[in-house]
Each structure stands twice: as structure tokens, then as C-alpha cells.
């Protein structure tokens, strides 16, 4: 009988596991051998073409040069060479150190940065200068601005030390305003004395003016009153009644010894009519005074401190004589 030899165990393992691994390796090599398309080919253009198209969009505006519309250089840059075709950038380069251009431009140079180190200006740097913006200066501590820049609103050119206050600070110093100090006691006393003196002088002046006016009113104009000594009052009775009034007419009658019964009769005879009461009493009083009635009436009004009414009567009586 023929003898059958059994294969070793490791041979079986190699056959069942090695062959599949070998097939997977061959498939991987086949896939890697095919080269993938580039990004430029997928999109139909090269990276250089994409950059060129981006540059052709004038994001910051344009300017004209020799009939060609060029793109403005961005802020922080300057123009080195103009463009040669429309709607593209020329040769723009960054501003040099310590220079800047704050806005899109077609300038061939950049502006020099502002220095905060001027002698006796008392400034310090708030924001350093960059290619796209100028230096910003501010006052040093305990200083305030006294001169602002005309070219750059908000920038200060010269600062001054804040005031010191021995008596105390009323309002603290700021970057734009000096310290407001509290008043010293001596100044307050001096101001109080000055105000008091001013008030006293004003009061004395007012009193003096009042006395002067009062004396002036009491002074009788001798020439005009002398001409009224024998003035007939009958044509002016209504006007005199309107000026004198019942109360003052009653006082004049009592001072002239007119009986109180006569005065009361005038009141009862004309109830609730002050004008008629005054007119009736005035006629009675004129009869008792006779030809000196005009003079006595004016004098008694002045004696009773009714200078205004006396002057009005003089005006009434003299006006007729002047127009006659």
C-alpha cells in the first residue's frame, strides 16, 4: 500500500492567508500608479491664473494715468510703477520704515511718521506708527493739551504741566483741561468783603437817588404856580376830579375846615358815584377858598405828598393858558 504524506500545518496557513494579502498588495500598486489631476486642471485654470484674476479687481478704487485706468495701491503702500493695462495694479511696494500712507493712493512716496519727542512738548507715544497709520501722541501724565494739530484732529502738539493747588483741587486735571483749584480762605474773605461793599454802595446810591427825586418833586415851579394864583377852576372841574379823586378831596376838605356834615351830605347825595361826590365837594371847597383855590389846591396836594397829582394839575391849568 502506498503511503500518503500529510502537508505541514504552516503550509496551509500560508496558502489560505498569504494569497489574499498578495492580491491586496497588487491592487494597491495599481491604484497608486494612476496620477490624480492637479487643482489647476480640476478648475480649468492654473494657480497663476487665479492670482492674476484676483489682482484685476480694484478693491480700493482706481486712478487714471496716460489714458489707462489703474488700481490704487492699498493703504500702507506706495506706487513704484504704473500699470500698463486697464483695471490692474501697477507695481506697489510697502512704505519704508518710519513712513506711512493711511489711505489707498497712487503716490510715489509715503509720509514721514510724526515724532512725539519734540523738545518741551511733553508728549509720549500712544500708538506707534505703522505703514498704514501715523503715530498718535498724547500728553504725559499730569499734563494737558494747549495746542492741537491742525492737520490731524484729535492729535496734540504741545502739552503743559497741570496746575498745583495748595488749597485743594476742585476739578482734576485731564488731557484737555487744566486743574481747577479751590479758592483759598484769603481770597474768599476778600471776595466777600468786595461783594458786601458793592451792595452797600448800591444801597447808598439808591437811597440818595430816592431822596433827590423826592426833593425834586417837592420843589414847586415858582413861575408856573405863580401864574395860577388867580386861575378859575370852573372850566377844569371834570379833569380836576379825575386827577384828585374822592379820598384826597375829602382829606383836603377836612384840612380846610369844611364841616364833616357837608362832606357826608355829598356822600349821601351821590351814593355809589365817587365822581359826583368829588365834584360836589370840590365845588363847595372852591366857594370857600375863593380866588386862591387853584394855588391852595396845588399846595395842599404837595403838603399831603401828592406831588404827582399836583404836577398833573399844573399841566392841566397851564396847558389852557399856553394854547389860549
Whether 217 has a pLDDT exceeding 70, the answer reads no
* pLDDT for residue 191: 78
Average pLDDT, the chain: 80
All three cell numbers of 252, joined, read: 383836603
Residues 167 and 136: beta-carbon distance below 8 Å: no
* pLDDT for residue 92: 96
Whether 235 has a pLDDT exceeding 90, the answer reads no
- Measured between its terminal Cα atoms, the distance across the chain in Å is 190
CA distance 84 to 142: 56
Whether 252 has a pLDDT exceeding 50, the answer reads yes
Mean pLDDT on 234-256: 90
pLDDT tens figures, 4-22? 455 555 556 555 666 666 7
* pLDDT for residue 289: 85
Mean pLDDT on 269-298: 88
CA distance 293 to 306: 17
With 0-12 / 13-18 / 19 or more C-beta atoms within 10 angstroms meaning exposed / middle / buried, residue 61 is: exposed
* pLDDT for residue 63: 95
pLDDT tens figures, 292-306? 888 889 999 999 999
Residues 60 and 72: beta-carbon distance below 8 Å: yes
β-sheet bridge partners, residue 111: 100
* pLDDT for residue 316: 87
* pLDDT for residue 2: 46
Mean pLDDT on 191-219: 85
* pLDDT for residue 294: 86
pTM of the entire predicted model: 0.39
CA distance 169 to 163: 10
SS3 64: strand
SS3 158: strand
Q: Which domains does the chain have, with CATH numbers?
A: 54-112 (2.10.50.10), 123-181 (no CATH), 222-323 (1.10.533.10)
With 0-12 / 13-18 / 19 or more C-beta atoms within 10 angstroms meaning exposed / middle / buried, residue 105 is: buried
Percent of the chain with pLDDT over 90: 40
H helical segments located in the chain = 9-13, 19-32, 39-43, 47-55, 185-218, 222-226, 237-255, 260-269, 274-289, 293-303, 307-323
CA distance 120 to 220: 76
pLDDT bracket for residue 102 (50, 70, 90): very high
Amino acid at each position: 500500500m502506498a503511503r500518503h504524506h500529510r502537508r505541514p500545518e504552516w503550509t496551509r496557513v500560508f496558502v489560505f492567508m498569504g494569497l489574499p494579502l498578495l492580491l491586496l498588495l497588487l491592487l494597491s500598486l495599481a491604484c497608486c500608479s494612476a496620477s490624480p489631476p492637479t487643482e489647476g486642471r480640476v478648475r480649468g485654470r492654473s494657480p497663476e491664473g487665479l492670482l492674476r484674476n484676483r489682482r484685476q479687481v480694484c478693491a480700493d478704487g482706481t486712478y487714471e494715468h496716460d489714458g489707462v485706468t489703474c488700481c490704487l495701491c492699498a493703504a500702507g503702500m506706495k506706487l513704484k510703477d504704473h500699470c500698463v493695462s486697464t483695471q490692474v495694479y501697477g507695481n506697489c511696494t510697502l512704505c519704508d520704515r518710519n513712513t506711512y500712507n493711511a489711505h489707498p493712493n497712487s503716490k510715489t512716496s509715503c509720509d514721514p511718521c510724526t515724532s512725539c519727542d519734540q523738545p518741551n512738548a511733553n508728549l509720549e507715544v500712544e500708538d506707534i506708527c505703522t505703514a498704514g497709520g501715523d503715530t498718535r501722541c498724547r500728553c504725559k501724565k499730569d499734563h494737558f493739551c494747549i495746542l492741537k494739530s491742525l492737520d490731524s484732529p484729535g492729535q496734540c502738539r504741545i502739552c503743559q504741566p497741570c496746575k498745583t493747588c495748595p488749597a485743594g483741587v476742585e476739578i482734576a486735571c485731564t488731557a484737555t483741561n487744566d486743574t481747577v483749584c479751590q479758592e483759598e480762605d484769603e481770597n474768599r474773605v476778600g471776595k466777600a468783603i468786595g461783594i458786601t461793599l458793592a451792595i452797600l454802595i448800591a444801597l447808598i446810591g439808591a437811597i440818595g437817588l430816592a431822596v433827590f427825586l423826592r426833593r425834586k418833586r417837592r420843589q414847586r415851579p415858582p413861575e408856573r404856580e405863580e401864574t395860577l394864583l388867580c386861575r378859575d377852576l370852573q372850566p377844569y372841574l371834570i379833569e380836576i376830579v379825575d386827577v384828585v379823586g374822592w379820598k384826597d378831596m375829602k382829606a383836603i376838605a377836612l384840612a380846610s375846615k369844611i364841616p364833616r356834615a357837608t362832606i357826608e351830605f355829598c356822600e349821601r347825595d351821590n351814593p355809589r358815584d365817587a365822581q359826583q361826590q368829588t365834584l360836589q365837594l370840590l365845588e363847595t371847597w372852591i366857594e370857600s377858598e375863593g380866588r386862591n383855590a387853584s394855588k391852595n389846591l396845588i399846595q395842599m396836594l404837595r403838603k399831603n405828598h401828592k406831588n404827582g397829582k399836583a404836577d398833573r394839575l399844573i399841566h392841566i391849568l397851564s396847558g389852557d393858558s399856553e394854547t389860549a
